[in-house]
Structure 1
Amino acid sequence: MDNTKVKRNYAFDFLKVWFIVLIILHHGLVFNKEQLYIAVEVFFIISGYLLYNTYFFKKKTPLVYLYERICRLWPKYIIIFILILIPHLIKGNLGYSKPYSIVWEIFMLQNIGLPGSGGINYPLWYISVLFVGGSLIYTFLFFLGDKKYISYIELIIIFGVYILMYCHNPNTLEQWSYVGSVVYLPFWRGIADMLIGVYISSKYNGHTSNIELLKYLDVVMLILVTIAMFSKLSAYFILVVLTIMLLISSNPSSSLQHLGKNKIIKFLLMHEYTAYLSHALIIDFFMFFEIANKMPKLLYGLLLLISVLLFSVVFDFIFNCIENFIKIVRK
């Protein structure tokens, strides 16, 4: 990678919007297809890609990186957590495996392998792995990133994790268990995915810009990956195809780059994080009132997506107003 300012990857913006829609529909049981969970791999890999860009171009210290991650992720996270906690308190059933599990979830540590892992806002296992795993990877890069052997270490971890997971269960990537008493598979799965993104960014970012053949291939690959998620193909095979799709999407002239510049995509991307945080809350509300049973699935799916979007827009508006008010008061 050339040591110049990196351009925004609009293809990744489009892919984040596309796959968060699939995740919401999957968790809402609109499309109850087991393979749809693989959509989260996209977010891990893209996060690793962006993490490497932050390391390479901004050279922040690990403590600064950690502090900025906390400031970005935690405020909205904790508010949504409180909102989803209230109904559980009313029902008198928190659903934690251990009394102290709530502490792990409050501090974004619920799925990194600590005793009593898990949380009531179940999709946010991704956030905990992203937060802790991403901070560890950044620290790793900060101290060793200029070493020539670093890429070999990344590849060893990537292949090592997936070989271990395949040996443990060849049918799925979604494994909520330990190997031995140390290796917590969801955490290391996220680490491996993020390292794929780090490797793509460090080795191939911008290196495919003159390959005209790749211009429309990312769209074709996206269609194939999406169809594959509704099939019974091996999850490990889908992950390989998905990784190739993300590699091709780094081509600055690709079709997804142009689609990602669309105003609608830009608007949706503004609320992507809040939508991910809050969609389980909206799904729980729909389940409580049995809305899914009162209408066709596709109509329910559309209503669910609209509801998540409206909640996210309103939440972000109120959050930004409060944030700006606090800034004014501090001045």
Structure 2
Amino acid sequence: MHSFAGGISDMRFIDAVEAWTLPVMVLNTELEFSFANQAYLESTRKTWAELEGRHVFDVFPEHPERVQQVHHQFRETINGSVTRLDAQPFHIMGPDGIENLHYWQATQEPIRDASGRVTHIVQYVEDVSSRVQAETQRDLIAQELNHRVKNVLSVIQSIARLSSRGQTSVEDFTNEFVSRVGAMSRAHERLYKNDFLGMSLKDLLNDELSAMSVQGEDKFSLDGPRVELSAETAKDLSMVVHELSTNAAKYGCFSVETGSLDIIWTTTDTQTEIVWMETGVGEVGPMKATGFGSKLLRVVRGIDCVRRPHSDGIEVRITLNHSA
């Protein structure tokens, strides 16, 4: 049994709460510790000798603005009201000597003597750290989802606007638009499976090329070291690869039986260079600078793309700048 500064008349109360697993402490009207059960001592990593008779704010010093709030609640309880402190943060030293942030939800009730005068405050404490952390995580996820949805809608609006230019029919526009949104969808599906932490370059290329090449993987080859792309880079690059593979399906290596595509990449700490080589197509004319793909390749942040025709097809060099 702990000793009690100031005395508490109802010893049955003390006997009862001593065995509780819920942390409980008692303050006198001077806000000095009169009692703390074993659960409270274990939760705060304190001994009774460190608490007995000491002012609560001497034991747990706080920021001035929060002292004022808590002190107000304590005074209201001394005046006879039941009060409640919601999710107050406390830094508590753990057994390993490292401070851990805990959130406590506390209820204060007055203890009265036989005449009805308030002599003490009893505080029941519940550790709600897990709940607060879950709510914080939920809020962060909601903010991130809102951010991503806005970005996706912004990209779709741009795709719709640019896809409509130069189209002579609703059907042509619809086909172009659906195809490009499909590229975004494939990238997002792969990112979702990886908790939006990114994806590998090879997976991105294989997904997009397999979707665009009706002859399957026999029409293209991929060769290079493992490169992990951030979520943002993966989404941007998927659009670039989609445009290149769409052109390959319409006019390039995927449009003719003799065509093939070889993609080779190398990487350093600062950038990854991808060489996209289409062959078996025959001589290709000058690259148009006014189409959707050309506009896209000029504005994607952190990705440089240079296209050059050669005697039997087209070569594209794509540079991913990791620092961008």
Provide the TM-score with structure 1 as the length reference: 0.23
Provide the TM-score with structure 2 as the length reference: 0.24
> Which structure would you say has the larger RCO, counting Cα contacts within 8 Å and 6 or more residues apart?
1
Pick the structure with more strand per residue.
2
Pick the structure with more helix per residue.
1
